[in-house]
Structure 1
């Protein structure tokens, strides 16, 4: 193959890579130097690279924000470990929420505490599940503000773990239906038709707005109006479980990647230069 055809091939190959894959900027340790492989020899570079670009197919179709620690938001894969931990955090918070509602006046919660105390919580749960769902008479704040917000938190729990819009909606619907309406809340009241619909549907719409808001905050170094205090406070409101988890230094298992790709052309030797790239993500 003559030099002109080789250069043309490299240009076409690079264009296909650019349009087919999304560029992700990462940092390389200064002690790690790129290795260039030619058909006849291996040559080590005599300089250090501070930045390079890795090509990564984002199967979920989301653009990512590259953080200072090298991680991306959202993750470029489904992080089931993160979702499992944050789901456990939700269960704990749901129990706490039940306690708060129990402490509230019956006029606010619409819970018949005397009947629950008299016949037991398990009996009350069975009766409520059999009787529901029904249209409830809860205050509009609970139905159209508190429940949609809860749905958005469920949604963000999955969305920030690398799941797409539809999967996050399903997670929100599952958690709001099984763990709350027919779970914890059913110990005190009959499942609500409004809550079964409004919580996941409106919550997912709000949650997707939270998702883009979080990306913007992370892109601006965790700042809102140039304030990190406002930035972290906002993150804690729109995505509490993942924000708390990240605050404790959550890390995934170490993942490595090794690939070989053409990176240039040696005009003098009339040969393609191949690069060996090794990445390790913690």
Structure 2
């Protein structure tokens, strides 16, 4: 336990040091400018998905991918520029960590002595595993950086689904199986939590940043709070704008700008709506436009989205559940039945289909020794719902995963599972669920079963679409 706490503390220290370095560089922008007019001005570089004229037939396949084919006017050049920036920052971080002492990084000598490639391959082959990091690292930390990846695509004019896929690829291949694999084995939780919670956070940050710019880049009337908030919401974009200012030209495609007015057809019927864009103009120096009251040298134009056409794929498909579980282990384990708890995080793609990362745990006692053994079961499950248009929906579930006792990774057991249950929709955001699942391992020829009940929360607008 002491070793695990030290590892978590060291990971938090590494992230804090790197984060502070990034923030210090971002402050140069505001300090260097100091309210004086200079030769360089931040320019809007992109438009939001909500501003584009989307053919209604596009939503005939709501999960179609435009990330590699900017057919709707997405700014692929900006996204590529942001990606290059992320790669650059990441390699700078790993270079700095390589110079730090082992007491900070937990990298042993084999990770330093020209064996980084071998260490990376060893960690990749060993994973993914269920890690033991504290919740604030797995949930808050990874969710935050997933949101940073997400915004790189979202602010380049891509829809939410494409931005999520970009976050998934970056968090999986660039970070989890890329940079971080030089230091540790990839994590099962991080592969799911980073892009999924990153979607929820990233969309909130995307809209919050627009509100700050609309207020002249201030928060509570303070420019310092505004600059700090803008950096915290999206450090990659903030660093890009700062770098452009320092060199006096647009080397990195960064920043945001929104403005259009157009008439578009609804994707669901023949009605025509007026779509109004959102304009943010943030100028340094005296400027030529009317300044905001009490804020010298800044100007703005503002309207609000009517969000038409409406994208049916948004944060509402993200769902989190928590509840209780009754565990009935195989007799060969020599453990008694007992109660525990479980949680899940997943995507509810339609009313008929969802996929989730499930985790359940219970403290079971030995039948002979009466000693307590920690039981853990985790895996990726798929659920298919019957009578999908009804509030009460029977479902079938199947998946793969592992069980582990007393957190012993060397003795984990692979399993397949199948089950059934009932899902009851309370409203668009909340639902109740009860289920039974049977788990089977071919390697040990053992069977476990679980009975569970849980409360489900759907993010955003919840089950409003699809």
TM-score of Structure 1 vs Structure 2, range by shorter chain: 0.5 to 0.7
Instruction: Answer yes or no: is 1:154 the counterpart of 2:169.
Output: no
CA shift, 1:238, in A, is 0.9
Summarize the alignment of residues 115-194 of structure 1 with structure 2, pairs less than 5 Å apart: 115-117=110-112, 120-194=115-189
Provide the secondary structure at the position in 2 that maps to 1:216.
Answer: helix
Instruction: Answer yes or no: is 1:80 the counterpart of 2:63.
Output: no
Task: Look at both structures and tell me which one has the larger radius of gyration over its CA atoms.
Answer: 1
Contact 2:85 2:240 in 1 (8 A): no
Summarize the alignment of residues 231-242 of structure 1 with structure 2, pairs less than 5 Å apart: 231-242=226-237
- More strand as a share of residues: 2
Match of 2:94 in 1: 98
CA shift, 1:118, in A, is 5.2
Contact 1:223 1:232 in 2 (8 A): yes
Provide the secondary structure at the position in 1 that maps to 2:168.
Answer: helix
CA shift, 1:244, in A, is 3.2
Provide the secondary structure at the position in 2 that maps to 1:163.
Answer: coil
Residues 210/191 of structure 1: CA separation in 2 closer, same or farther (3 Å cut):
same
Residues 148/97 of structure 1: CA separation in 2 closer, same or farther (3 Å cut):
farther
CA shift, 1:223, in A, is 1.6
Residues 106/202 of structure 1: CA separation in 2 closer, same or farther (3 Å cut):
farther
Residues 108/203 of structure 1: CA separation in 2 closer, same or farther (3 Å cut):
farther
Residues 98/140 of structure 1: CA separation in 2 closer, same or farther (3 Å cut):
farther
Residues 214/186 of structure 1: CA separation in 2 closer, same or farther (3 Å cut):
same
2:78 and 2:55 mapped to 1: Cα distance? 17
Structure 2 residue runs without a partner (length 5+): 1-50, 57-71, 255-466
1:226 and 1:139 mapped to 2: Cα distance? 36
CA shift, 1:156, in A, is 0.9
Residues 162/120 of structure 1: CA separation in 2 closer, same or farther (3 Å cut):
same
For residues 135-189 of structure 1, the C-alpha deviation after alignment (integer angstroms, 9 at most, x for no partner) is 1122433222221111110011111111111011001000000001111111111
Residues 141/236 of structure 1: CA separation in 2 closer, same or farther (3 Å cut):
same
CA shift, 1:230, in A, is 1.6
Provide the secondary structure at the position in 1 that maps to 2:112.
Answer: helix
Residues 189/217 of structure 1: CA separation in 2 closer, same or farther (3 Å cut):
same
Match of 1:113 in 2: 108
Residues 163/192 of structure 1: CA separation in 2 closer, same or farther (3 Å cut):
same
Provide the secondary structure at the position in 2 that maps to 1:199.
Answer: helix
Match of 1:207 in 2: 202
Provide the secondary structure at the position in 2 that maps to 1:146.
Answer: helix
TM-score, normalised relative to structure 1: 0.58
Residues 60/146 of structure 1: CA separation in 2 closer, same or farther (3 Å cut):
farther
2:114 and 2:241 mapped to 1: Cα distance? 43
Match of 2:239 in 1: 244
2:110 and 2:239 mapped to 1: Cα distance? 37
CA shift, 1:108, in A, is 6.3
For residues 20-67 of structure 1, the C-alpha deviation after alignment (integer angstroms, 9 at most, x for no partner) is xxxxxxxxxxxxxxxxxxxxxxxxxxxxxxxxxxxx744399xxxxxx
Contact 1:60 1:164 in 2 (8 A): no
Residues 115/215 of structure 1: CA separation in 2 closer, same or farther (3 Å cut):
same
The higher-RCO structure (CA 8 Å, 6+ apart) is: 1
1:163 and 1:60 mapped to 2: Cα distance? 15
- More helix as a share of residues: 1
1:130 and 1:214 mapped to 2: Cα distance? 40
Summarize the alignment of residues 251-266 of structure 1 with structure 2, pairs less than 5 Å apart: none
Two-structure CA RMSD over aligned residues (Å) = 2.7
1:94 and 1:246 mapped to 2: Cα distance? 18
For residues 109-152 of structure 1, the C-alpha deviation after alignment (integer angstroms, 9 at most, x for no partner) is 5x442232357111111111111100112243322222111111
1:199 and 1:59 mapped to 2: Cα distance? 29
2:103 and 2:199 mapped to 1: Cα distance? 29
